[in-house]
């Protein structure tokens, strides 16, 4: 039986790239996004056509624990969980509405709790499993004007380290990847001038590609079992 990976936020960007990287290795996939039915359907068709893997899709708002539970029930047995779904918010903290704060925290952090809580029992039972939580360098050092996002990703980092210790005796590995500036739609809020200034700050002199990020997800999944509880930084030498 081929192994199956569940990837959230899989309609585009890092999630879609991770799906492609795993499909190239023959993984079956369960791809989740909030509402981009056409986009995730296109990813499904491309991967099934190119690699002959099984690929299911599911629409779900992972900020809602009831929807997350229904999604995990539909997914069935999974061998790798990639928590990639996330949103950003740029603005002054004093001007942030309570609902905006809750939305960022629920989407970026609470969703990781919802999926892990439901995936862990089957992984512990099999004594095998990989969990990769997609984070950000701002979760390590914080970013001005992105307090909620930084807090949510800092929470993901601590969650990752703590859960890794809890699951290590059961041979389940939990790691995170703190990405720097990756060229995805999340950065569409920045002007060309702002992106140019950002590139000047990065020693690699460019943004990372979604393809590179997807390959990193695959490498972490394929890492030796002794690697767990790590937050791996991939940022072109930026932070």
3-state secondary structure 197-235: HHHHHCCCCCCECHHHHHHHHHHHHCCCCCCCCCEEEEC
Residues 161 and 186: beta-carbon distance below 8 Å = no
**What three-state secondary structure class fits 132?**
strand
Question: Which residue in 110, 109, 165 sits closest to 136, CA to CA?
Answer: 109
Annotated catalytic, 149? yes
The distance from CA 231 to its chain's CA centroid, rounded to whole angstroms, is: 13
Cα 15 from Cα 85, distance rounded (Å): 8
Residue of 58, 114, 149, 226 marked catalytic: 149
Catalytic residue numbers, as ranges = 149
């Amino acid at each position: 039986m081929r192994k199956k990976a569940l990837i959230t936020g899989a309609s585009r960007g890092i999630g879609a790239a991770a799906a492609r990287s795993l499909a190239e290795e023959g993984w079956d996939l369960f791809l989740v996004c909030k509402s981009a039915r056409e986009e995730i359907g296109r990813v499904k068709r491309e991967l099934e056509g190119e690699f002959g893997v099984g690929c299911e899709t599911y629409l779900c708002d992972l900020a809602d624990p009831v929807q997350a539970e229904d999604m995990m029930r539909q997914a069935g047995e999974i061998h790798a969980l990639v928590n990639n779904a996330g949103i950003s918010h740029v603005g002054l903290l004093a001007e942030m509405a309570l609902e905006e704060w809750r939305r960022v925290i629920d989407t970026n952090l609470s969703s990781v709790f919802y999926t892990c809580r439901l995936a862990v029992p089957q992984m512990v039972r099999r004594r095998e499993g990989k969990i990769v939580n997609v984070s950000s360098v701002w979760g390590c050092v914080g970013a001005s004007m992105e307090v909620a996002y930084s807090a949510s990703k800092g929470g993901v980092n601590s969650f990752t380290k703590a859960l890794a210790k809890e699951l290590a005796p059961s041979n389940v590995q939990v790691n995170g990847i703190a990405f720097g500036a990756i060229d995805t739609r999340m950065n569409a809020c920045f002007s060309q001038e702002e992106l140019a200034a950002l590139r000047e700050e990065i020693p690699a002199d460019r943004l990372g590609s979604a393809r590179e990020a997807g390959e990193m997800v695959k490498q972490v999944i394929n890492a030796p079992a002794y690697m767990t509880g790590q937050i791996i930084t991939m940022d072109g030498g930026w932070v």
